[in-house]
Amino acid sequence: MPSFDVIVIGGGTNGLAAAHRLQTSGRKVLVLEQAGQAGGAAVAREFAPGFRTPGLAHIANQIDSRVMSGMDLGRHGLGFVTSGLSSTALSATGDHLVLEGSAGATIRGTISDADRKNWLALRKQLLSFAEVLAPFKQLTAPRIAKRAGNEYGKLARFGLNLRMLGKADFREFLRMILINVYDVVNDELTDKRLKGLLTFDATLGSWLGPRSPNSLILLLNRLAGEGAGQRAALALPKGGMGAVADAMVKSATASGVNLRTGATVDSLLIEDDRAAGVRLANGEEVRAKIVVSAMSPKTTFLKLVGPRHLDAGFVKRIGDQKSRGAAAKLHLALKGAPDFRGADLKSRLVIAPSDDQVELAYNAVKYGEVPKRPVMEIVIPSAHEPGFAPAGHHVLSAVVQFAPHKPKAGADAARAEMLENALAMLEEHAPGIRALVTHAELLMPYDIEAQYGMVGGNWHHGELSVEQMLFLRPVAGIAQYATPIEGLWLAGAGCHPGGGISGAAGWNAAERIIREARA
Amino acid sequence: MNVMRNSDPRLHYLTPLKQTPFHPRTAAENRLNDWGPWAGYTTALSFGDTAMEHSAIRNGASVYDLCPMVKYRVTGRDAAAYLDRLTVRNASKLSVGGVHYTIWCDDAGKVIDDGTLFRLGQTDYRICCQERHLPWLLDSAIGFEVYIREETEDVAALSLQGPCAWSVLNAAGFDVADLKPFRMRSFPFDGGELMISRTGFTGDLGYELWTTPAHAIALWDHLFAAGAPWGIRPIGTHALDIARIEAGFIITNMDFIPVDQAVREDRARSPFELGLEWMVDFDKGHFTGRRALLKEKVNKSSKWALVGLDIDGNVSVEGSIIYHNGKTEVGTVTAACWSPSAKRNVALAQIRRPYHETGNLFVEVYALRELQYAKLMLPARMCERPFFAPPRRRATPPGPF
Ligand SMILES: Cc1cc2nc3c(=O)[nH]c(=O)nc-3n(C[C@H](O)[C@H](O)[C@H](O)COP(=O)(O)OP(=O)(O)OC[C@H]3O[C@@H](n4cnc5c(N)ncnc54)[C@H](O)[C@@H]3O)c2cc1C
């Protein structure tokens, strides 16, 4: 067995990004991935004979620009069928509203002039705020402490960007940064479909409702992302999200990274109180001086490291880190094209009839219940290109919210109820769709946890919310990728800047490791 | 009358202080009605004459009601491993029937509390300490198979201290002649059980006696009957405080502020800063605060030192500010007394490093003399603790005095 300088646990997009960056810095890197294929939530899957679907993630809107160019993903096969995916706020009467261009630069559909005008003003404001926040994604979260190793140059640029907003906008920025999205949309808009869409987008992947404090910042975070190199754009990779996983694997391997799949890490080897390698589930030991965990922080510490190697206060903090998932993933094999009352199947179809409906759907999970009328985001990959379903057939991929991560009714009953309620919502918006379904699969948050290892099934490996952001992510004291165990680093979505098919956390972590090694 | 036993829990506020199981006896003896609160209990500060009570500790036999001492029981398969991770000492090495003094720290290596750890069985320990810690103890239990229960109210305990303590126990029918310091032994008593440990807070020959509240009064009466020939007498906290200063022992919230209660960030203290580094076992594996303490050790970054002082004259210096060279403020006296046993004017003090090594220290005292203050700058010398350490405290078998 050759020796390695670095072991990366978890070959998700963050693990692969970190591995590539560290390998190209001159280190020998081994990635250990438990699944049969690396790529984590980006890996595509055949869920019914002849039907392929993105495993979890189905839209690219967060891919880190450094990862895109640093890993040269284009050269390794990543292309996009579209980088300007439109969003359709579906109406049950066919009166749809279509937002086109990045973050809805234009709106098609019947909407009042006032709303149209106010939306454009609000969009501009939100985008300017997002522009201020965007650079944060590409740096280690700063800490308020002496010798914290803050990236002062980049932070100064952030300060400058803030100043560039001008006095009035800066005041608005401070007013709005911690506000809830419900108040913001209701201050500016009246159209239910538009408000439904915006509040859906803000709470996608979170455990917050539109009225929960701080929910606007998640919308800003979303807008601060990039799809195919464009701010706030939604992109669909050619060949589906699986293509991102494939390109990253190819690039990492080409750079010299060793990748082992089917290798589940069971525990961290600790010698002289520092990381010495890992032990696999089959008992095998692999040694390296640097171990980078690109899986959930909670599992990393509570299981791989174990409380006995950690301080009690730290264990408590990690144990209390919130990691509730509320996004379920629905996959349907359809024997024909569904008809969403004339909506373009190449659009991102959103069923979120109003901001209040989004709130009501969230309300249920607070009590461990399944919402009567869930809200959802639908992508139909087979409408864009062949290769996802047999000719004439279609694949529907939807993120359905909000699903309880610990249902009162029990796992199976809740899954069945969620599926039924989701199908009923679909039928309401696309009459006849149920008759087209030949196979249906619904992954509840706990199913996602079991299959992907995301604690609580949470999108971000730990909720992304103000109290778990920046220097508080994943928890205070370990926000700069280093951990209390020397030689053990974090690099997954549980770290700053959070989740999404992005690689930002992994890249940041690698940069930090390289920098600390030099210091 | 015993209003505290009122069955309606909502009326607890009517009796903000509880009475210990020995209260019927201590109340009858408390001639000055001199009481103070301790951990939620009414306890005697003195029974009539602190000098006589201190004299009983050093020359006869004294009895102190220990019930308010906070007690936790730790049991379960991982009890030893749990305590190794919780405290800085090696709890696995403590043998069954043994006791050791210990401390525990937070993640930053700052002291939360000190206490004594009793190993009652292979997987059965008792922690006795000054402050309450259930949340911290439970947080520390994550990942361990242990059960933690507060048992303060389920245990009635007395401390029997003084050169004649062994004679009293002997007369009371408990054979502890070969019981070494920091060891314990159980006896049948009053239809129940009495556990006797050779421990105490006086630095003298002494024992602590542990039973359940149901046998408390019987224990008191039995001890006082057996101890009468040696002038056994109850003592209050004031007398004990003098004895513990003579012995150089520190008390949480008096000689240092526990980190979980400190409001000011710079008040937290590490074991190095309290003179307790001797008990930190860096080789036993990980424990809470280990990494921070190791860093402090390697970087020599301790900021404070807890020292014993010997001060000129006989004016007790409690609460005084300490100066280097009579000018620079370098610390505070945390406890002080004129020691009747050592015949010295002694103090415990926190001193900012490196002044614990420089010497040339002075203590500023305002001595109140018939309504007028005399400002004194008394020279003080650093000295070893304990200030008073009679060989009898360790002699086994103890001599009959
Ligand atoms: C339902 C749902 C829908 C989503 N949709 C989108 C979307 O459309 N667009 C988007 O950008 N984001 C989406 N996300 C979020 C995105 O999928 C995650 O944030 C992202 O995958 C995080 O990347 P990662 O590399 O940090 O972790 P992961 O992708 O989770 O990768 C972690 C890897 O570690 C491996 N692993 C875990 N434990 C071990 C172990 N013990 N030993 C070895 N390997 C191990 C796992 O198998 C996995 O491959 C969605 C999330 C969910 C839950």
- Which pLDDT belongs to residue A229? 84
Query: Which stretch of DSSP H or E encloses residue B345?
Result: strand B344-352
Question: CB of A9 closer than 6 A to ligand 1?
Answer: yes
Q: Is A316 part of a structural domain of the chain?
A: yes
Closest by Cβ to A313, choosing from B81, B107, B143: B107
Find the residue in A nearest to B84 (Cα): A308
E strands, A111-264, in order: 226-227, 230-231, 236-237, 258-260
Q: In what order do the strands lie in the sheet containing B156-161?
A: B184-189, B192-197, B206-211, B156-161, B62-65, B233-234
Which atom of ligand 1 has the smallest separation from the CA of A329?
A: 1
Residue spans in chain B of domains classed CATH 2.40.30.110:
277-383
**Cβ contact, residue pair B291, A312, below 8 Å:** no
How far out from the chain centre does Cα A319 lie?
Answer: 22
Measured between beta carbons, the chain B residues lying within 8 angstroms of A315 are 139, 142-143
pLDDT score, position A177: 93
Q: In whole angstroms, what is the distance from residue A477 CA to residue A459 CA?
A: 22
Q: Is A13 in the pocket of ligand 1 (CB under 6 A)?
A: yes
Give, for all 519 residues of chain A, the pLDDT tens digit: 569 999 999 999 999 999 999 999 999 999 999 999 999 999 999 999 999 999 999 999 999 999 999 999 999 999 999 999 999 999 999 999 999 998 999 999 999 999 999 999 999 999 999 999 998 999 999 887 778 888 888 888 888 888 888 899 999 999 999 999 999 999 999 999 999 999 999 999 999 999 999 999 999 999 999 888 888 999 999 999 999 999 999 999 999 999 999 999 999 999 999 999 999 999 999 999 999 999 999 999 999 999 999 999 999 999 999 999 999 999 999 999 999 999 999 999 999 999 999 999 999 999 999 999 999 999 999 999 999 999 999 999 999 999 999 999 999 999 999 999 999 999 999 999 999 999 999 999 999 999 999 999 999 999 999 999 999 999 999 999 999 999 999 999 999 999 999 999 999 999 999 999 876
Residue B96: name the closest of B137, B66, B140, B126 by CA: B126
Is the N-terminal amide bond of A474 cis, ω within 30° of 0? yes
Q: Cα(B210)–Cα(B194) distance, rounded to whole angstroms?
A: 6
User: Which CATH number does B17-67+155-235 carry?
Assistant: 3.30.1360.120
Q: Model's pTM, two decimal places?
A: 0.95
Structure tokens at B377: 């700058």
pLDDT digits (tens, 9 = 90+) for B311-355: 999 999 999 999 999 899 999 999 999 999 999 999 999 999 999
Q: Report the CATH number at residue A512.
A: 3.50.50.60
Q: Are strands A97-100 and A87-89 parallel, antiparallel or unpaired?
A: antiparallel
**Residue A497 within any structural domain of the chain:** yes
- CB of A460 sitting under 6 A from ligand 1: yes
A286 CB within 6 A, ligand 1: no
B136 shares contact with chain A (CB less than 8 Å): yes
Residue of A nearest to B287 (CA): A311
Is the residue at A181 inside a domain? no
- The residues of chain B scoring below 70 in pLDDT are 1-6
Evaluate whether A181 touches A198 at the Cβ level (below 8 Å): yes
pLDDT the model gives residue A210: 98
- Environment class of residue A269 by beta-carbon count within 10 Å: exposed (0-12), middle (13-18) or buried (19+)? middle
Point out the ligand 1 atom lying closest to the alpha carbon of residue A327.
1
Here the contacts of B300-304 (C-beta below 8 Å, separation 24 or greater) are B302/B270, B302/B272, B302/B273, B302/B353, B303/B273, B303/B352, B303/B353, B304/B269, B304/B273, B304/B274, B304/B331, B304/B350, B304/B351, B304/B352, B304/B353
In angstroms, rounded to a whole number, what is the distance separating the alpha carbons of residues B118 and B128? 8
Q: Where in chain B is the domain with CATH 3.30.1360.120?
A: 17-67+155-235
Nearest CB to A319 within list B86, B142, B289? B142
| DSSP type of residue A116 | H
Chain A partners of B285 at a C-beta cutoff of 8 Å?
A: 308
Contacts A307 to B, Cβ<8 Å: 85, 142-144
Integer-rounded Cα radius of gyration of chain A: 22
Provide the total of helices (H) and of strands (E) in chain B, helices listed first: 9, 19
**Is the Cβ of B295 closer than 8 Å to some Cβ of chain A?**
no
Determine, yes or no, domain membership for A302: yes
Residue A254 lies in a domain: yes
What SS3 state is found at A515? helix
Tell me if A452 CB under 6 Å of ligand 1: yes
A-B C-beta contacts closer than 8 Å: 45
Whether ligand 1 lies within 6 angstroms of the CB of A456 is answered as: no
Give residue B148 CA to ligand 1 midpoint distance, Å. Answer: 38
ipTM comes to: 0.94
Give the range of the structural domain holding residue A495, as residue numbers without chain letter. 3-42+243-321+460-518
Q: Which residues contact A149 (CB under 8 A, 6 or more apart)?
A: A140, A480, A515, A516, A519
Residue range B277-383, CATH number: 2.40.30.110
Q: How many domains does chain A have?
A: 1
Please, how many CA atoms are within 13 Å of residue A508, restricted to the half-sphere of its CB? 31
pLDDT of res. A147: 80
Contact between chains at B286 and A313 (C-beta distance less than 8 A)? no
